[in-house]
A and B are shown apart, each in its own frame.
Chain A
Amino acid sequence: MSTDIAHEEHHHGPPKGIGRWLFSTNHKDIGTMYLVFALTMLFVGGASAMYIRAELFMPGVQFMEPDFYNNMVTNHALIMVFAVVMPAAAGLANWMIPMMIGAPDMALPRLNNLSFWLLPAAAVMLILSTVVPFLPGGGSAINTGWTLYPPLSIQTGMAMDFAIFTVHILGVSSILASINIVVTILNMRAPGMTLFKMPMFCWAWLFTGLLLIIIAPVLAGGVTMLLFDRHFGTSFFDAAGGGDPVLFQHLFWFFGHPEVYVLLLPSIGVLAMIIPTFARKPLFGYNSLVGGMAILFTLGLVAWAHHQYTVGMAAGPTTWFMIITILISIPVGLMLLNFMMTMWRGAMTFETPMLFAVAIVLMFSFAGVTGIMLAVVPADLEYHDSMFVVAHFHYALIPGALMGLLAAAFYWLPKWTGNMYDERLGKIFFWWNVISFNITFFPQHFYGLAGMPRRIVDYNPAFADLNMISSLGAFAYGLSHLLFLYIVIKTVRGGVKAGNKPWEGAQIGTPGLEWDLSSPPPFHSFTTPPVVK
């Protein structure tokens, strides 16, 4: 190891100045940047959500014209999906996976740098798409929602072109990140770290990465066709020229449905780390959880058209998609069983990450139940495009994705910073966050079933009271994240020293290589591969 002294010196500590971040090829620095980016965008996407709830606080049009409302709905979805949850999950992967499997760094460090730095460019593009309609000659605002369905998306002004390029850039970024993570997991494991010894978070990301590699190019193709239809006179989706707008829906949802699992699986991986730690028991049914994810991966790819029951598909394919969708509840139910059986008779303690984990298992099951309701064709024809659907997917994605990421942040903050977070503030944040989340979204089930449509700026005054409750809950929910920001900043700045292994049960059932390193870990971990027994 002492052959090249210059080399050694170069690699000891982080480089100084902004170059450290701009040109970084270090998985920890890039992971940090991903997480900071995601947290920043959480507030941008959150601001658009706050606008939506302020607008819906009372019936009638309060602030801006309806197109702007729909633009905010679009932005909220695009930002939360592509610029918050996915980058945050990629940030966790960057930080943790090399340490978990005993690798010196990611397999493709320069690619890693590229896939991160594409993100801010995409974010700027997306913000421009909102600004452009206000400029003279800027055309109309994006009013399609994140699904970008034609023919509306073909008629929208040039803001749509910005949105399409945003999707392109984000797609490239996530494909590159996924390739990197999959290659790292497959090739960079330390001797003795077999696939079936890996921490579950790595398995979750292996499936996530493969899914993204399969689906993201299809979305890229779909929006490329949209771009061609808009500018180059093609008729992929234009009925006048022999195209079919429903084709876009198929392309979009071929991506869009597995995307739900892309958002969900990393958090499932996180839960599979947190629950054994705080139950002080090895994960119940390691192999069955891997199998469950594999089944979810497969079924998820062939269930997409359950988003399109109302477009007039014939009975045959509709029935197929209904059956597959209902079948998906089986592997998901198995996963929840894995978690519950891990907790069963464990010596549980309820630190903030564990509180979140338990709440997620509960609330995500709830989304599963409403999901079954929506999967059934005759029922869905009634619920389609109502606020009930909004309630369903927020119960799926906030506990299933976002809260999982928050739990991960609490779980690994001591490892990243070397300092313990403030447990008292953490618990306050948990209760504030979870209660206000439920106040926001639970009433939406009711006024959705009663007939309030989604994506419309105004509503029947009959829904006024429940909407007001929703909005008040949403403001509290939005504000709670400021406390999270404060906790993170406080932890980064100092606190009780965490030690190598802040959680007593952290290595139960897994090799737990990351906990053998110091907290914070050295800039370059594992220059020689550790051996896993």
Chain B
Amino acid sequence: MRDKTLQNGLEQTHEKNKKTTRLLLLIVVGMFGFGFAMVPLYRLVCNVAGIGISGAANSGRIIDKSGHPRSIDKERLVTIQFDSLINEGLQWEFHPLVKEMKVHPGKPYEVSYYAKNNSGKKVVAQAIPGITPWQATSYFHKTECFCFTQQTLDSGEEKDMPLKFIIDPDLPKDIKVVTLSYTFMDTDRSSLRKKRELNLPSDNKHKG
């Protein structure tokens, strides 16, 4: 009699164990999925809440949404520095035509970056912007930029790429220097992979 109740008890525990295990496995699968769901969610949250970092999440497309004509602040001069970087594996020449300029907030300006493809083949590349200090990011309005789209250069081709921007007059007063940096990256990553297999040292070229 006692054996029977014991047996029943064991079977009951067994069933319960199965149920709990299934539930916990479900959490595991769910959390694995959550990791992947973070990819779109992360972008969404950053955009909606406006907590995007240096604009990298949306390719730096910072567009003036207000539509109001900005009054030009003639009293104030802000120094804008232009910087360029080339990511590992991309054999391009890339640098700004002016390194630094002083601008009045509210006034539109145009500068150019020079790019040349030295790789001997057609390359599609994407420029990723970064603004320092990050607090200036939302006050740096680009109306036209080569970073909005991918850039294609044939072997040996060179071109000047325009960048039009307006500094918001609301830029906090304590910011006197803003650095805009672009990193060009090869969208075809096979060259990078080849480099990795050959175990070559990294060759980030920095051209001011």
Contact = CB atoms under 8 A, between A and B. Distances in A.
Interface of A: 1, 3, 107-108, 137-140, 154-158, 175, 178-179, 182-183, 186-188, 213-222, 224-225, 230-231, 233, 235-236, 238-242, 244, 246-247, 250-251, 254, 311-314, 316-317, 528-529
B28 A217 contact: yes
Nearest to A185: B20
Contacts of A3: 3
A187 B10 CA distance: 11
B117 interface: no
B51 A183 contact: no
B27 A314 contact: no
Interface residues of B, number: 51
A240 B125 contact: yes
B126 A240 contact: yes
A233 B53 CA distance: 25
Contact of A213 (B31, B134, B185, B189): B31
Contacts of B88: 155
Given A183-B21, A240-B128, A314 B53 contact: yes
Contact of A218 (B3, B32, B126): B32
B71 interface: no
A225 to B, nearest CB: 7
16 contacts: A137-B199, A158-B197, A187-B16, A214-B31, A217-B28, A217-B30, A221-B38, A224-B35, A225-B36, A236-B39, A240-B187, A242-B126, A251-B38, A312-B53, A312-B54, A314-B51
Contacts of B34: 217-218, 221
Given A157-B197, A312-B134, A316-B49, A222 B35 contact: yes
B27 A214 contact: yes
B185 A239 contact: yes
Contacts of B36: 221, 225
Interface string B43-54: 100000111111
B199 A240 contact: no
4 nearest interchain CB pairs? A221-B35, A240-B185, A217-B32, A217-B31
Contact of B24 (A183, A246, A247): A183
A182 B24 contact: yes
B196 A240 contact: no
B51 A313 contact: yes
A505 B198 CA distance: 64
Interface in B171-192: 183, 185-187, 189, 192
Contacts of B98: none
A244 B20 contact: no
B59 interface: yes
A108 B21 contact: yes
A221 B30 CA distance: 11
B101 interface: no
Query: Among A107, A178, A312, which residue has the most Cβ atoms of chain B within 10 A?
Result: A312
A497 B160 CA distance: 86
A238 B188 CA distance: 11
B97 interface: no
B152 interface: no
Given A140-B199, A188-B13, A313-B53, A240 B35 contact: no
Contacts of A221: 31-36, 38
A107 B21 CA distance: 10
A314 B183 CA distance: 22
Given A155-B88, A187-B20, A225-B36, A239 B54 contact: no
Nearest to A219: B35
B56 to A, nearest CB: 6
B17 interface: yes
B29 interface: yes
B197 to A, nearest CB: 6
B25 to A, nearest CB: 7
Interface in B139-179: none
B77 interface: no
B87 interface: yes
A179 B9 CA distance: 21
Contacts of A155: 88, 192, 195-196, 202
B109 interface: no
B84 to A, nearest CB: 15
B196 A217 contact: no
A107 B195 CA distance: 50
